[in-house]
Structure formats: structure tokens, C-alpha cells
């Protein structure tokens, strides 16, 4: 019998594959993917046609603006979304496809998406 964590990871992987069947990034409209761990959030802008990561921002990256030393995970997520939007606009990327990574569009994933929208990205 498998343990609970193995089952959870398998279910997450299945959901992510289901999302990826529908969403693909191109040079015109790359894919904004969000990955979260217990402590951190990572956002990437990926061109699936060429197989390249164009932009990668993490909650540990230097450009992420945080409000104070004791920032919450939600504040870090909003900072990641704002920073990925700023870097994408600097590279001339305005439209992206949002890939929630098999997670619910809720909480930290939603915070990244909404702050990226506020930063000027369209999806």
C-alpha cells in the first residue's frame, strides 16, 4: 500500500497533465507556470515551441519586493507575480497563458496571477 504523500503527488501530477493537454506556450503567447512549495513560490514564463524558459522568478529572487522581514507567504506570492510581470514587459511579453500547475486557482496561485495582471500581463 502506498503512503498518503505518494498518492497526493500522483494526483497532482495527473491534474497537471490534464491542464497541460489544453495549455501550451508559444513565442507569441508563452505559458506562465506557477509552482509552490510549503515555503516558496516559483513562477516561470516558458516558450514550449523552442523548449526554453524565458523568465524565472522565485520568492527567494533578488528583485522580489517584500514588505518587511516577517513577510507572509501571500505577500511573497504577490511580490513574485509583480516581478514576473515587470520582467516579462521588459522583454516585450504582454500576453501569456496561465498554467496553475494542477493546483486550485486559490490562495497563493491566485495571488501570483492577480498581481501579474495588475503588473500589466494579459491572460
CA R_g for the chain: 15
| Full-model pTM | 0.86
**Class of the domain covering 4-118:** alpha beta
Confidence of residue 43 (pLDDT cuts 50, 70, 90): very high
Crossing angle (nearest 10°) for helices 73-90 and 108-118: 40
Q: What is the mean pLDDT of the chain?
A: 91
List all residues 6 or more positions away from 55 whose beta carbon is below 8 Å from its beta carbon.
44, 45, 84, 87, 88, 91, 93
Give the count of beta carbons closer than 10 Å to the beta carbon of residue 14.
10
Which is higher by pLDDT, 13 or 2? Answer: 13
pLDDT score recorded for residue 71: 81
Is the Cβ–Cβ distance between 89 and 56 less than 8 Å?
no
Q: What nine digits make up the cell of 44?
A: 516561470
Q: What is the pLDDT of residues 45-95, one digit of tens each?
A: 999 999 999 999 999 888 776 655 668 999 999 999 999 999 999 999 999
Amino acid at each position: 500500500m502506498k503512503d498518503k504523500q505518494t498518492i497526493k503527488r500522483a494526483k497532482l501530477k495527473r491534474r497537471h497533465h490534464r491542464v497541460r493537454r489544453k495549455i501550451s506556450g508559444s513565442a507569441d503567447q508563452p505559458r506562465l507556470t506557477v509552482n509552490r512549495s510549503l515555503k516558496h513560490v516559483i513562477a516561470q514564463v516558458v516558450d514550449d515551441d523552442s523548449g526554453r524558459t524565458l523568465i524565472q522568478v522565485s520568492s527567494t529572487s533578488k528583485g522580489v519586493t517584500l514588505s518587511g522581514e516577517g513577510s507572509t507567504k501571500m505577500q511573497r506570492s504577490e511580490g513574485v507575480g509583480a516581478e514576473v510581470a515587470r520582467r516579462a514587459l521588459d522583454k516585450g511579453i504582454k500576453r501569456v497563458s496561465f498554467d496553475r500547475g494542477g493546483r486550485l486557482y486559490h490562495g497563493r496561485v491566485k495571488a501570483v496571477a492577480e498581481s501579474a495582471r495588475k503588473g500589466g500581463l494579459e491572460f
